[in-house]
């Protein structure tokens, strides 16, 4: 069951203002108290989400308490329970993204209990520790909601699913010893017990530098472990996440992870929950076995789905314990990069995507072409509103424009012996044809709260590290509809900073292919790893590809969460009834 209707309690703290030994008296709900609430969990107010709201539950708030304090909205309610209910309502109305609820004189006179509450799907996607979800069925508007344990999915027991086996040793001899102990265990193990094996061997110790990994099913596990090559990990290269844009989409992209990986599922649901009534229709077209209501290549499906899939993949990798040092998006993927980097909140990013879509459908049909040629060679062919849409790599350039002139240019290019591929797109993004849409989008973006990124974000529109003034400019984000994407230069800037492990968080491996043309990747100084298969396939192929990427991170030397990784073969959204084992809640919450 999706978590999008629930509110999650992620922190709770009780404080007693005043000096030790004083008689406890009622705590006034004053501006000074609200300042303390904003800092209750050790964070500076400037680090809180933009739409943080403070909810004061007190019988008699101080008359000097204003509806805004230190730049944050303040709401008052007559009781802590009423304040928690108001927070839940506004979180799901979109008025608030993060709630700090202060119960004055709760649980007793002289104390303040501070609750940190957010939408449950986003709490799971962000890796927060969820203490429980608010049970709003408790009688009475003033009664404090009880906490329910978070139940997000069930245990899966299918030994036919691929899983990951990771092992390590202090040196080559130690790795051979560990592998030698693992092999007879796998050979003698009953297949039904295969999913329950530990993710990493040996258990409970720091992983060594000599590492091995196998992606396998139960029947082949011993053979796969035997033939796996051990790798000595010295200094793991920092990770940069790459997010592809329109043209990479295909039907059911990454659907093999939906309902089978908890963070991906929660993040995808969270993104679609902000798409309003269109969200369920987008999901239905993504998952349908028949003909979708709107084709996947239509901008009304391609851009929202790519955003949700890219974002969910990025959150999943971060949930493994990977901390990216940089992000880079291509075209619409730059907005995903901005979300992961903290420049824009998830609800606002979705608003920006949907506004792009609304304005794009007003533009006459057009398209995009991928041409195996350099930018300068193609300029003499341009006419009318056809323009250079993207410079992706050596001999990898894209054109975009209105349908008729673009078709004529495609014919001329083919006649001259150039390789031309039609990109799956129905709108002429990154061309002057989109100028009216860009102007309308800019006006809408002025209402979006923007921040400088907290992670280095390399922009495909400048080819450089995004500057704070660009991140804060509605015009910068709006012009991405018309401006050329300089992915080649942005990747050059990124790889000039350090040798990188590039992880493509999106479908089709398009950016991986571009990166592998770069000299640093060809020489092995950096490497590019895709999360998803290069072409549409089965649900199991999606999971196998993700596991292979995780194995690559392990052998690179990164520290990964065994619990998070094991969800790929031990979790499913619905009860697993195929093997007779009782389904049990996987992510039961702590109580405090």
**C-alpha distance from residue 566 to each of 220, 555, 581 (Å):** 18, 17, 18
Residue 355 parent element (H or E)? helix 346-360
> Which residue is associated with the tokens 């959150």?
315
Taking residue 234's Cβ as centre, other Cβ atoms within 10 Å add up to 8
pLDDT at residue number 62 = 87
Average model confidence (pLDDT) for the chain?
Answer: 92
Q: Please count the CA atoms within 13 angstroms of the CA of 378 that sit on its side-chain side.
A: 27
pLDDT at residue number 586 = 30
pLDDT at residue number 22 = 58
pLDDT higher than 90, residue 575? no
**C-alpha distance from residue 10 to each of 71, 98, 467 (Å):** 23, 11, 33
Q: Which of 516, 496, 492 is nearest to 504 (CA)?
A: 516
pLDDT band for 587, please (50, 70, 90 cuts). Answer: very low
Distance CA 335, CA 350 (A): 9
pLDDT higher than 80, residue 584? no
The one-character DSSP state at 61 is -
**C-alpha distance from residue 232 to each of 174, 288, 503, 525 (Å):** 12, 44, 20, 16
> Which residue is associated with the tokens 């089709």?
508
pLDDT at residue number 23 = 60
pLDDT higher than 80, residue 160? yes
pLDDT at residue number 397 = 96
pLDDT at residue number 229 = 96
pLDDT higher than 50, residue 578? no
Q: What percent of the chain has pLDDT over 70?
A: 95
Per-residue pLDDT tens for 93-152? Answer: 999 999 999 999 888 888 899 999 999 999 999 999 999 999 988 767 788 888 999 989
With 0-12 CB in 10 A as exposed, 13-18 as middle and 19+ as buried, what is 571? buried
- CA 445, 446, 447: angle at the middle one, nearest 5? 85
Q: Which of 393, 399, 394, 331 is nearest to 371 (CA)?
A: 399
Q: Which of 96, 103, 117 is nearest to 52 (CA)?
A: 96
Distance CA 346, CA 314 (A): 13
Q: Helix 333-340 and helix 346-360: axis angle, to 10°? A: 170
With 0-12 CB in 10 A as exposed, 13-18 as middle and 19+ as buried, what is 266? buried
Taking residue 384's Cβ as centre, other Cβ atoms within 10 Å add up to 15
Per-residue pLDDT tens for 407-461? Answer: 999 999 999 999 999 998 889 999 999 999 999 999 999 999 999 999 999 999 9
Distance CA 126, CA 118 (A): 11
Distance CA 115, CA 96 (A): 15
* Lookup: tokens for 319: 């949930």
Per-residue pLDDT tens for 315-362? Answer: 999 999 999 999 999 999 999 999 999 999 999 999 999 999 999 999
pLDDT higher than 90, residue 579? no
Note whether 304 and 282 are within 8 A (CB): yes
* Lookup: tokens for 130: 């969820």
> Which residue is associated with the tokens 């992983």?
207
Chain-centre distance for alpha carbon 170 = 34
**C-alpha distance from residue 181 to each of 159, 184, 188, 214 (Å):** 21, 6, 12, 15
Q: Which of 446, 447, 465 is nearest to 456 (CA)?
A: 465
Measure the N-to-C terminal CA separation of the chain; round to a whole number of Å: 24
Note whether 420 and 242 are within 8 A (CB): no
Q: What would you report as the CA-atom Rg of the chain, rounded to the nearest whole angstrom?
A: 26
pLDDT higher than 80, residue 388? yes
Per DSSP, the residues of 162-188 read -EEEEEEESSHHHHHHHHHHHHHHHHH
Distance CA 483, CA 487 (A): 12
Q: What does pTM read for this prediction?
A: 0.94
pLDDT higher than 80, residue 75? yes
Per-residue pLDDT tens for 183-226? Answer: 999 999 988 999 999 999 998 789 999 999 999 999 999 999 99
Distance CA 178, CA 183 (A): 9
Distance CA 96, CA 80 (A): 18
Note whether 13 and 121 are within 8 A (CB): no
Classified as helix, coil or strand, 108 is coil
Name the CA dihedral angle for 24, 28, 29, 35, rounded to a multiple of 10 degrees.
-80
Q: Helix 278-287 and helix 262-273: axis angle, to 10°? A: 140
pLDDT at residue number 590 = 29
Distance CA 429, CA 426 (A): 9
Note whether 507 and 488 are within 8 A (CB): no
Largest CA distance in the chain: 91
**C-alpha distance from residue 158 to each of 10, 193, 494, 577, 585 (Å):** 32, 9, 41, 10, 16
Distance CA 432, CA 261 (A): 41
Residue 367 parent element (H or E)? strand 366-371
Average pLDDT over residues 288-301: 94
Per-residue pLDDT tens for 550-574? Answer: 999 999 999 999 999 999 999 999 8
Q: What are phi and psi of 472, to 5 degrees?
A: -90, 0
Per-residue pLDDT tens for 469-508? Answer: 999 999 999 999 999 999 999 999 999 999 999 999 999 9
Helices (H), 12-138: 31-38, 80-93, 120-125
pLDDT band for 26, please (50, 70, 90 cuts). Answer: confident
């Amino acid at each position: 069951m999706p978590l999008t209707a629930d509110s999650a309690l992620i922190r709770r703290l009780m404080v007693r203002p005043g000096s030790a030994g004083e008689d406890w008296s009622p705590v006034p709900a004053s501006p000074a108290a609200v300042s303390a609430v904003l800092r209750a969990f050790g964070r500076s107010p400037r680090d809180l989400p933009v739409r943080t709201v403070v909810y004061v539950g007190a019988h008699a708030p101080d008359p000097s308490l204003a509806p805004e304090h230190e730049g944050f909205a303040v709401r008052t309610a007559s009781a802590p329970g009423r304040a928690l209910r108001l927070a839940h309502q506004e979180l799901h109305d979109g008025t608030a993204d993060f709630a700090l609820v202060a119960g004055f004189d709760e649980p007793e006179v002289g104390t303040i209990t501070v609750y940190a509450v957010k939408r449950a799907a986003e709490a799971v996607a962000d890796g927060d520790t969820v203490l429980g979800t608010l049970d709003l069925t408790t009688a009475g508007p003033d009664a404090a909601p009880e906490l329910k344990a978070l139940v997000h999915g069930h245990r899966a027991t299918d030994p036919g699913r691929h899983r990951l086996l990771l092992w390590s040793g202090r040196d080559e001899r130690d790795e051979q010893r560990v592998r030698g102990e693992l092999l007879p265990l796998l050979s003698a193990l009953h297949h039904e017990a295969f999913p329950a094996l530990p993710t990493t061997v040996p258990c409970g110790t720091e992983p060594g530098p000599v590492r091995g990994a196998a992606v396998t099913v139960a029947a082949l596990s011993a053979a796969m472990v035997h033939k796996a090559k051990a790798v000595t990990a010295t200094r793991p290269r920092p990770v940069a996440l790459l997010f592809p844009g329109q043209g990479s989409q295909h039907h059911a992209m990454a659907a093999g992870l939906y309902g089978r990986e908890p963070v991906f599922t929660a993040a995808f649901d969270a993104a679609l929950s902000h798409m309003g009534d269109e969200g369920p229709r987008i999901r239905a077209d993504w998952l349908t076995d028949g003909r979708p209501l709107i084709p996947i290549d239509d901008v009304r499906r391609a851009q929202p789905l790519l955003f949700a899939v890219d974002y969910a993949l990025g959150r999943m990798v971060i949930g493994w314990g990977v901390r990216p040092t940089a992000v880079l998006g291509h075209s619409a993927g730059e907005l995903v990069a901005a979300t992961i980097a903290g420049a824009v909140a998830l609800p606002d990013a979705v608003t920006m995507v949907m506004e792009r879509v609304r304005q794009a459908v007003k533009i006459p049909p057009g398209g995009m072409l991928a041409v195996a040629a350099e930018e300068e060679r193609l300029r003499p062919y341009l006419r009318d509103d056809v323009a250079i849409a993207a410079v992706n790599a050596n001999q990898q350039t894209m054109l975009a424009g209105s349908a008729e002139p673009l078709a004529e240019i495609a014919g001329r290019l083919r006649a001259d012996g150039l390789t031309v591929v039609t990109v799956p797109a129905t709108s002429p993004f990154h061309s002057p044809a989109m100028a009216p849409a860009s102007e309308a989008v800019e006006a809408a973006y002025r209402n979006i709260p923007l921040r400088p990124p907290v992670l280095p974000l390399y922009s495909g529109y400048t080819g450089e590290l995004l500057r704070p003034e660009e991140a804060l400019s509605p015009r910068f984000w709006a012009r991405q509809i018309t401006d050329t994407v300089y992915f080649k230069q942005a990747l050059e800037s990124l790889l000039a900073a350090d040798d990188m492990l590039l992880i493509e968080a999106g479908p089709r491996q398009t950016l991986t292919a571009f990166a592998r043309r770069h000299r640093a990747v060809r020489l092995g100084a950096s490497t590019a790893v895709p999360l998803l298969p290069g072409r549409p396939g089965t649900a199991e192929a999606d999971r196998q590809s993700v596991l292979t990427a995780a194995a690559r991170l392990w052998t690179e030397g990164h520290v990964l969460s065994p619990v998070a990784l094991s969800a790929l073969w031990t979790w499913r959204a619905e009860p697993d009834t195929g093997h007779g084992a009782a389904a049990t809640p996987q992510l039961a919450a702590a109580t405090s």
